[in-house]
């Protein structure tokens, strides 16, 4: 199973914002600086940042002194929050009809994975 590149960039972006917030409260980082740190296009990253903003994970401030910052504490933002902001809430497995045995096992796996990702926060990654 693979998550999209956008999810990978979203996780890295959120970690950069969490590290910055930890070092300098209320400091905002512009899209060009975030993109440069990850060696990606600012236009592409802007689309990711829009999804993170709509999900309520980050704040966006316009203007010369503007940029992006975490909306919540890094201790409350989970990896699952970030992944679902980008990927949505679609099931990882489908293809069986009438609750077949394979689907039961795959749904159990998915449940364990979601529980694990819900327990891991940005603060955990900073340690």
Q: 35-55, pLDDT tens digit by residue?
A: 999 999 999 999 999 999 999
Expressed as residue numbers, the domain containing 27 is: 5-126
Chain segment 58-112, per-residue pLDDT in tens? 999 987 778 999 999 999 999 999 999 999 887 777 777 766 888 888 889 889 9
Under a CB-based contact definition with an 8 Å cutoff, are residues 11 and 86 in contact? no
- What percentage of the chain has pLDDT greater than the value 70? 97
Number of domains in the chain: 1
The fraction of the chain above a pLDDT of 90, given in percent, is 67
Long-range Cβ pairs for the range 22-25 (8 Å, 24+)? 22/74, 22/126
CATH code at position 45: 1.10.10.10
Radius of gyration of the chain (CA): 16
């Amino acid at each position: 199973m693979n998550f999209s590149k956008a999810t990978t960039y979203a996780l890295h972006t959120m970690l950069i914002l969490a590290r910055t917030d930890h070092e300098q409260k209320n400091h905002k980082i512009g899209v060009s600086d975030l993109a440069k740190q990850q060696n990606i296009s600012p236009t592409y990253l802007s689309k990711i940042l829009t999804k993170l903003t709509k999900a309520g994970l980050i704040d966006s401030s316009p203007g010369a002194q503007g940029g992006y910052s975490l909306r919540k504490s890094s201790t409350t933002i989970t990896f699952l929050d970030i992944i679902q902001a980008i990927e949505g809430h679609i099931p990882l497995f489908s293809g069986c009809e009438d609750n077949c045995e394979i689907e039961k096992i795959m749904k159990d796996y998915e449940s364990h994975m979601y529980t694990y990702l819900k327990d891991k926060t940005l603060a955990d990654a900073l340690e």
